[in-house]
Amino acid sequence: MIIKSIQNLPPPVDDGVETMKSNPAGEERRGHTRFKAKAGAYTVFSARSIIPGRINDISLGGLCFSYVEGEEWYHESSELDILFGDDDFYLDKIPFETVSDTIIENESPYSQIIMRRCGVKFGMMSHAQLEQLKHFITQNTLDGAELSNA
């Protein structure tokens, strides 16, 4: 299974980048609250990828994930899938567009691995996909229960 083979990826790195961005006027740009994903949440891209990215945070409007540089397979896709191994959750073919893709500063001077952080914005989803996404957030994020109370 894919999840078993990639659990050796380093944990998400706190690179000091805020997950909620503001515009120059100090107003919130995102319309959805981001929730920190539990360990074991991954994304793969529908085009032909089997190498996942680790989900750092997620909202109803998009997600942020970390991946190993050189595995830029997501550029060839317009849809992504979300996996969570603990409960075999799988949500497929979510349309997206990339909004950011940056290098994460490496804390170890001896490591040859370059990690990147990518932010994506979800496109138009079906009602069923949106309901599955809400379920994923409430069950597989650290504070997602807040979503069901909203």
Per the structure, the count of domains in the chain is: 1
Tokens of 138: 């409430």
User: Does 22 map to a domain?
Assistant: no
User: Does 44 map to a domain?
Assistant: yes
pLDDT of residue 73: 58
Q: Whole domain around residue 77: which residue ranges?
A: 35-104+112-145
pLDDT of residue 7: 44
User: Does 87 map to a domain?
Assistant: yes
User: Does 85 map to a domain?
Assistant: yes
User: Does 11 map to a domain?
Assistant: no
Summarised one tens digit per residue, pLDDT across range 86-107 is 777 899 999 999 999 999 988 8
Where residue 121 sits, what CATH number does that domain have? 2.40.10.220
Tokens of 44: 């793969």
Residue numbers of the chain with a pLDDT score lower than 70: 1-30, 46-50, 71-76, 148-150
Q: What's the one-letter identity of residue 61? A: G
User: Does 10 map to a domain?
Assistant: no
User: Does 116 map to a domain?
Assistant: yes
User: Does 118 map to a domain?
Assistant: yes
CA distance 121 to 94: 10
pLDDT of residue 48: 61
Tokens of 78: 């317009």
Contacts of 52 (CB under 8 A, 6+ apart): 2, 3, 6, 42, 43, 44, 67, 83
